[in-house]
Amino acid sequence: MATLILVRHGQSTWNAANRFSGWVDVPLNRVGRQEAMQAAKKISSYCIDVCFTSKLVRAIETTAICLTEGTGACHDKSPVFKHDFDDSDWHGWDKYEGYIEQEIPIFINPALDERYYGDLQGFNKAKMAEKVGKHIVHQWRRSLDTRPPGGESLKDTAARTIPFFQNRILTHLKNGDNVLVSAHGNSLRSILMHLDHLSPEEVPHLELATGIPIVYKIDAEANITNKVIL
């Protein structure tokens, strides 16, 4: 039996300002760091074997806090970021030998990035609702297949997150590894939509709070046996 922990990053500076973030690389604020520390305490009883996160700093910060601030069951293990994506700027000097069993590998991958909000990025959500209507903004933010201007729909986001989940994350779970995924509201919504078999009518009601871990128990055949929100 393996454990999958999904956690949306803590509050970012643009979450606090009610702005569309998307792929804009904004950091956590003080509240967000506190939320990540609370998440670290909540998951401290789980021994994490491997972690996945996006390329955006708010998810990376949350990952680091979750794996270093708790008094975890595997507190003797050191988290190490693994740059396994195709990044021509990465110098590749992080080769070393030994002590692999004492580490928690953290894989950074753009497949887990937040949905791209296109032309909306940077705009205040409430002011945009005043401009175009609350219903339109709600569709852009919560529906399955409505794209914001120049951006991705949740369905578009799922087209990259779900294959990554199936090909990379699920492989570890089937092997019995406990996996932490620290990502974003919409990249995680798309994975939850897949895991919980949500219908298009149910998707608009799915919303994830910042810094709240969701824990699944998964067997070797990839069946979910339990789900808990911490």
Catalytic residues, by residue number, are 9, 114
146 annotated as ligand-binding = no
> 95: which DSSP letter?
-
Give residue 128's identity as a one-letter amino acid code.
Answer: M
Residue 135 assigned to a binding site: no
Could you tell me which of 137, 124, 126, 135 has the C-alpha nearest to residue 20? 124
CA neighbours closer than 13 Å in the CB half-sphere of residue 109 = 19
125 assigned binding-site residue: yes
Known binding residue 14? Answer is yes
Backbone angles phi and psi of 138, in degrees to 5: -60, -40
32 is in an annotated binding site: no
Separation between Cα atoms, residue 110 and residue 116, nearest integer Å: 11
Residue 30 known to bind ligand = no
153 is in an annotated binding site: no
58 is in an annotated binding site: yes
Give CA–CA dist 215/194, Å, rounded: 15
196, two tokens: 């919980």
13 is in an annotated binding site: yes
9 annotated binding-site participant: yes
Whether 117 has a binding-site annotation, put simply, is yes
- The three-state secondary structure class of 209 is coil
Q: How far apart are CA 63 and CA 83, in angstroms?
A: 14
Q: Is 21 annotated as a binding residue?
A: yes
Q: Does the annotation list 115 as a binding residue?
A: yes
124 — phi, psi (to 5°)? -70, 130
Give which of 128, 177, 159, 141 is closest to 3, Cα–Cα: 177
Helices (H), the chain: 13-16, 30-42, 57-68, 125-132, 134-142, 154-164, 170-174, 185-195
Binding residues for substrate: 8-15, 21-22, 58, 114-117, 125, 141-142, 185-186
Binding site, residues? 8-15, 21-22, 58, 114-117, 125, 141-142, 185-186
